[in-house]
Amino acid sequence: MIPDLGKYAATVLSAYGASILLLVALVALSLRRGRKVRTEMEQIEQRVSRDG
């Protein structure tokens, strides 16, 4: 499946590994904070509208 990378296999795989790890972490953290903030805002809005 993985192409023959020859003597530079570790070099290429580590570059891709580090990049993909950082990109996935960035997206995951952004989505997690986004969901948390959205839920918190909706709860506060409900409370404010309920309490007048």
Partner 1 sequence: MTISTRLNALWEYANPRKFLATTERVLPVLWLLTAVTLIGGLVWGFFFTPDDFRQGSTVKIIYVHVPSAFLATSAWFMMLVTSLVWLIRRHHVSALASRAAAPIGAVMTMIALITGAIWGQPMWGTWWEWDPRLTSFLVLFLFYLGYIALWEAIEDPDTAADLTSVLCLVGSVFAVLSRYAVYFWNQGLHQGASVLRAGAVTGADTTEKVSNVYAYPLLLSMVGFFLLFVALVFYRTGTEIRARRIKALLARERVNG
DSSP state of 8: G
Tokens 């952004």 map to which residue?
A: 30
Q: Looking up tokens 């296999």, which residue turns up?
A: 9
Site size toward partner 1 (CB under 8 A) is: 30
Please give the structure tokens belonging to residue 51: 């309490």
Determine the Cα–Cα distance for residues 25 and 20; give it in Å rounded to an integer.
Answer: 8
Q: Which of residues 1-52 bind partner 1 (CB under 8 A)?
A: 3-9, 11-12, 14-16, 18-19, 22-23, 25-27, 30-31, 33-34, 37-38, 40-41, 44-45, 48
Footprint of partner 1 (CB under 8 A) = 3-9, 11-12, 14-16, 18-19, 22-23, 25-27, 30-31, 33-34, 37-38, 40-41, 44-45, 48
